[in-house]
Structure 1
């Protein structure tokens, strides 16, 4: 019987029932396990990207803010040569003044300074342990890089600086490093500091690097002030 000749009874009863088997009905030959993972909706992806970009931007802004605060804190620095510092006494003899001025001039020739100073301090307990300090003030954007450059220049003058390492800079911050080099009197310790407002170095005959580093921190706290 054709569809065109369906009886009214058949129309009322609806289509013949479909026999279901116990076998699963496969609607597609595609393997679900091979399907690529579903992509997140575009709006969600944009939110994730924007959130990541915002996090990176905030981290960068925080780093810039910290660096800017450090520059502002350290840039206005003054260095002086008090008569007494860290248990040492300033040597005002003509020979000491000449030596200090030579070191100051050489240091100033290596770095563009606003102000410079150089002095020799005597150790009242041992005349062979005098300390030669020289440095100056200027705005330094990359203190550690500039300090490393100064040590390289010092190595050119003395032959080399061995065992150079970073040591605690103390409450004034910045970076401080010490090593050993050679002179007419044999090996001696040499230390330097740099921050965003100053750089200085000191020579320590007859002292170990550890002894020199501790004394240099004390000297720095006695000669450096900030606005």
Structure 2
């Protein structure tokens, strides 16, 4: 028997037999520790970079579109319509019959679209009375000018037969949208119909004995004369 009092207790052999504790101390950073700074991140893949750029581009384009649309509304909403005594070589007809016709037009169209104010007039061509122009217009904040204009074309159809071949034409310097078409008249033949709309006003006119192309040009001239913006 050995006389070594430390044998089996604190001798090197005993220490080697004990299991080694490999548990990290409480202060050691865990691999999942979110506060622990990581090493350099790998660069984004080309596909992911393209996706991020595409998302950013779409977002910027959307913001730009909203800004343009909002700016257009602000610039067009304060509009005034008038019926001057002469427009594009035509003369305002002040007769009782013309005034009655203008009132009928105002009532018919105002019933189909909510307007802040409205005007109506008959303009006579001094060279040919059968080419007189019946004009109606109104002011309002229009969110969808093209749709509102289509509504007016539908009202013309209810009054005098469907307007066929409605298509966009150049709107002129005041912008917005302008469309023209044809409607049948009693006794045969067609009558040109043109109208415009923007975010602040809309107008429409009937052009007996005129082609659509001629009516479109005359409509732009009339609009320049009757519409002003504050």
Corresponding residue pairs, total = 187
Q: CA RMSD in A?
A: 1.5
Which residue in the other structure is 1:36 paired with? none
Alignment correspondent of 2:136: 134
Deviation at 1:119, TM superposition (A): 0.3
Are residue 192 (structure 1) and residue 205 (structure 2) matched?
A: no
Which residue of structure 1 lines up, in the alignment, with residue 119 of structure 2? Answer: 117
d(CA) in 2 for partners of 1:97, 1:106 = 14
Q: Is the aligned partner of 1:224 residue 2:227? A: yes
User: What whole-Å deviation, never above 9, does each CA across 1:7-56 have from its counterpart, x for those lacking one?
Assistant: xxxxxxxxxxxxxxxxxxxxxxxxxxxxxxxxxx6843554433221111
Summarize the Cα distance change of 1:151–1:57 in structure 2 as closer, same or farther, 3 Å threshold. Answer: same
Cα displacement string for residues 130-183 of structure 1 (whole angstroms, at most 9, x for unaligned residues): 000001000011101111122122212222111211111100101111111123
Query: Paired residue for 1:93, among 75, 92, 95?
Result: 95
Q: Secondary structure at the match of 2:167?
A: strand
Distance 1:185 1:222, change over 3 A: farther
Match in the other structure for 1:214: 217
Partner Cα distance (1:211, 1:47) in 2: 54
Q: TM-score, length-normalised on structure 2?
A: 0.78
Report the equivalent of 2:68: 66
Is 1:202 the counterpart of 2:205? The answer is yes
Between Structure 1 and Structure 2, the one with more helix by share is: 1
Unaligned runs of 5+ in 2: 1-41
The residue aligned with 1:53 is 55
176 and 117 in structure 1: CA distance in 2 versus 1, 3 angstrom threshold = same
* Helix, strand or coil at the partner of 1:78: strand
Preserved CA contact (<8 Å) 2:109 2:155? no
Q: How far apart, CA to CA, are the structure 2 residues paired with 1:185 and 1:78?
A: 37
Gaps of 5+ in 1: 1-40
Query: Which secondary structure does the structure 2 equivalent of 1:180 belong to?
Result: strand
Native 8 Å contact 1:108 1:135 kept in 2:
no
Q: Distance in 2 between matches of 1:184 and 1:200?
A: 24
- Are 2:182 and 1:176 aligned? no
Verify the 8 A CA contact 2:112 2:151 in the aligned structure 1: no
- The CA deviation at 1:73 is 1.0
TM-score by length of 1: 0.79
Whole-angstrom distance in 1 between the partners of 2:215 and 2:74: 29
Shift of 1:222: 0.2
